[in-house]
Amino acid sequence: MSVTIRFCGAARTVTGSCYLFETPSGRLLVDCGMFQGPKTLKALNYGAFPFNPGDIRVVLLTHAHIDHSGLLPKLIADGFRGSILATRGTIDLCSYMLPDAGSIQESEVAALNRRNAARGRAEVSPIYTQTDALASLAAFQPVDYDKWVDVMPGVRARYWNAGHLLGSASIEIEFAGQGASGQPLRVLMSGDVGPDAKLLQPLPDAPAGLDYVVSESTYGHIDRPPIANATRRAHLGEQVRAAHAVDGPLLIPAFAVERTQELIVDLVDLMERGDVPAAPIFLDSPLAIRATEVFRQHASALNADIDVARVLASPHLRFTETVPESKAIERLTGFHIIIAGSGMCDAGRIRHHLKRWLWHKNATVLLSGFQAQGTLGRFLEEGAKAVRIQGDEIKVAARIASFDEYSGHADGPELTRWIASRRPIARGVFLVHGEEPSIAGLAERIGERIVPPAQVFRPVLDDIYELTTAAPTLLDGKQRRRLAPEAVVALDWHNDMSELVLDINERIEAAADDRARGVIIRRLRRALNAGD
């Protein structure tokens, strides 16, 4: 009997983390995350899983971020009846994050169905509801770091602190009798690996002497300058003072968990020291508010140099949990700070604030982390002059700044050192959870220096590899591909359509007079008719 791995997500893209292992004892999953980015990718969230959920015996969850955990309620609704093994920190965060994801889906689908009704289109259903998410929490079982846990006959796992997020883990999996000469086959799933200078988390840890490492590569091609906490705080202070100088709001799209709490710690510290003007910091995210309470409860597991509980109770910090409280912020003028999800501007309350302020020259938008291809955050980061939000065209006049020093991901050199510390790696390294440039960059870094180039693998979505052969073998033709490989890595027609509509509107508005506008419209009609 053999062991295979199927890359059901996060292959040539950074979202949808999901890996299926087939073993002599049954099937197990590592992660079951939601796809984000272009609509072609997000459509996979609504479709059938590329496996029968009822056949899965157990899920090993690396951490709580939605791109790793977000489809667990759907998995259960579709027939999964096993256990989800995760650290206590991950379980506590998921108890808020998954119901929040279900609530967001319900509200966004309700808004979409109102638009569909007006256009004579059919209704759609959410991927899952808040009720589904709450029901899924019964399947979670806690595990401790550094302790072996039996997963199923002949398979055991051990969780190592990945330094990425409260509760995050790299997971070591051992398959009995599947390695060379009857030895165990040892596979390490990196999860998301934290950087060396994470504000609240320890350095990542993991074992050495493995057959395979499946490593994230989010920033595999990026070299960040070494940065200390004081330097990062000083750079944040520069952005705050710049926003204050133009007397407008500072909008910070941020992931509700960890990124938000790190930003709060530093913003409060800057204000208490007098390094930036004091101002209200609105935490406009019910999920982030609840996650902040989880961080208070787990303060002993965080950086001992920071009094997390005191900082998170600062009078500068204001929680806006209800919709009326959130809407009340829109009436404010002058300098204030709003932190809201989502971090890539693809959902949540930040979109309402962007809609309110993007067209104002005195507003500042501070992008505080990775922006995946096809997301609103990525378009803003790349200098879009106009964007579409909830069907409306919004001109971008606000100052857009990127500030990636709070990243929860190791950069290229840090990932290279992390992989090198796993040596000896007998059979190969699979690079996942990255876009094409980042995977290529990390492959170049580790080829020859850590493992031979022939032992570096770059799977695409739905690839299946046999792991018990002398070298991993791609079982080409055995899988049903949900998307062509090129569709995973490129912007889709929805993105092209949105950009085209914005370009048409800009060209028509810039025309000299009505006659010139009429010429443009007639040319467009001729182009459309020529395609009939």
Q: What is the SS3 assignment for 244?
A: helix
CA 397 to chain centre: 27
pLDDT given at position 518? 80
Joined tokens for residue 359: 């067209």
- 493 has a pLDDT exceeding 60: no
| pLDDT mean over 347-357 | 90
The pLDDT mean for the chain works out to: 90
**Section 423-446 average pLDDT:** 96
Taking residue 334's Cβ as centre, other Cβ atoms within 10 Å add up to 10
- 10 Å Cβ neighbour count for 307? 11
Q: How confident is the model at residue 110 (pLDDT cuts 50, 70, 90)?
A: confident
Please give the pLDDT value at position 199: 83
Helix (H) or strand (E) holding 427: strand 425-432
Read off the pLDDT band of 185 (50, 70, 90).
Answer: very high
* Phi/psi of residue 86, nearest 5 degrees: -155, 160
Longest dimension (CA), the chain: 81
Residue 297: its pLDDT value, please? 85
Q: Is the pLDDT of residue 372 over 80?
A: no
Report pLDDT for 498.
60
Which residues, in sequence order, are bridge partners of residue 141? Answer: 85
Q: Which three-class secondary structure state does DSSP give residue 186?
A: strand
CA distance 491 to 472: 31
User: Residue 102's pLDDT is what?
Assistant: 94
Name beta bridge partners: 429.
213, 456
In this predicted model, what pLDDT tens digit does every residue of 58-71 receive, in sequence order?
Answer: 999 999 999 999 99
pLDDT of residue 64: 96
| Residues whose CB is less than 8 angstroms from the CB of residue 8 and which lie 6 or more positions away in sequence, other chains included | 16, 18, 19, 20, 49, 50, 51, 461, 462
Q: Is the pLDDT of residue 272 over 60?
A: yes
How much of the chain, in percent, has pLDDT values that exceed 70?
96
> Could you tell me if 340 and 349 are in contact, meaning their C-beta atoms sit under 8 angstroms apart?
yes
The pLDDT assigned to 497 comes to 59
Range 68-80 average pLDDT: 97
Contact between 130 and 102 (Cβ < 8 Å): yes
| Per-residue confidence (pLDDT) for residue 360, from 0 to 100 | 95
Residue 120 has pLDDT above 90, yes or no: no
Give the CA angle between residues 256, 258, 263 to the nearest 5°: 85
Asked whether the predicted pLDDT for residue 502 surpasses 80, the reply is no
Q: What is the mean pLDDT of residues 133-158?
A: 97
Q: Which two tokens stand for residue 23?
A: 């073993």
What is the pLDDT, as a whole number, of residue 83? 98
Closest C-alpha among 329, 326, 341 to residue 375: 341
Contact 132, 138 (CB under 8 A): no
Specify the higher pLDDT residue, 38 or 425: 425
Q: Answer for the pair 82, 57: CB distance below 8 angstroms, yes or no.
A: yes
CA distance to 212, 437, 469, per residue, from 194 (Å): 20, 20, 32
Dihedral over Cα of 46, 51, 57, 62: its sign: negative
How is the chain split into domains, by residue range? 4-222+408-489, 229-402, 493-530
Give yes or no for residue 38 having a pLDDT over 90: no
Cα separation, 398 vs 396, in Å, equals 6
Region 33-42 average pLDDT: 88
pLDDT at 197: 80
How far, in Å, CA of 25 to CA of 169, rounded? Answer: 24
DSSP 105-145: HHHHHHHHHHHHHHTTPPP---SS-HHHHHHHGGGEEEE-B
Place of tokens 């303060």: 299
Rounded Cα–Cα distance for residues 164 and 219 (Å): 14
Q: Which class in CATH covers the domain with range 229-402?
A: alpha beta
| pTM to 2 decimal places | 0.84
Q: Which residues face 156 on adjacent strands?
A: 150, 174
Mean pLDDT of the region 491-504: 61
Mean pLDDT of 185-191: 97
Q: Is the pLDDT of residue 109 over 80?
A: yes
The residue that leads in pLDDT, 463 or 118, is: 463
Per-residue pLDDT band at 531 (split at 50, 70, 90): low
What is residue 491's predicted lDDT score, i.e. its pLDDT? 54
One-letter amino acid for residue 10 of the chain: A
Write out the CATH class of domain 4-222+408-489.
alpha beta
Tell me the CA end-to-end span of the chain in Å, nearest whole number.
Answer: 55
Classify 165 as helix, strand or coil: coil
pLDDT band, residue 421 (cuts 50/70/90): very high
The sign of the torsion formed by the CA atoms of 254, 260, 265, 269 equals positive
CA–CA dist 444, 456 (Å, integer): 9
Q: What is the pLDDT of residue 299?
A: 78
pLDDT of residue 419: 98
**75, 140 contact by CB (below 8 A):** no
Query: Is residue 364 classed as helix, strand or coil in its secondary structure?
Result: strand
pLDDT of residue 499: 64
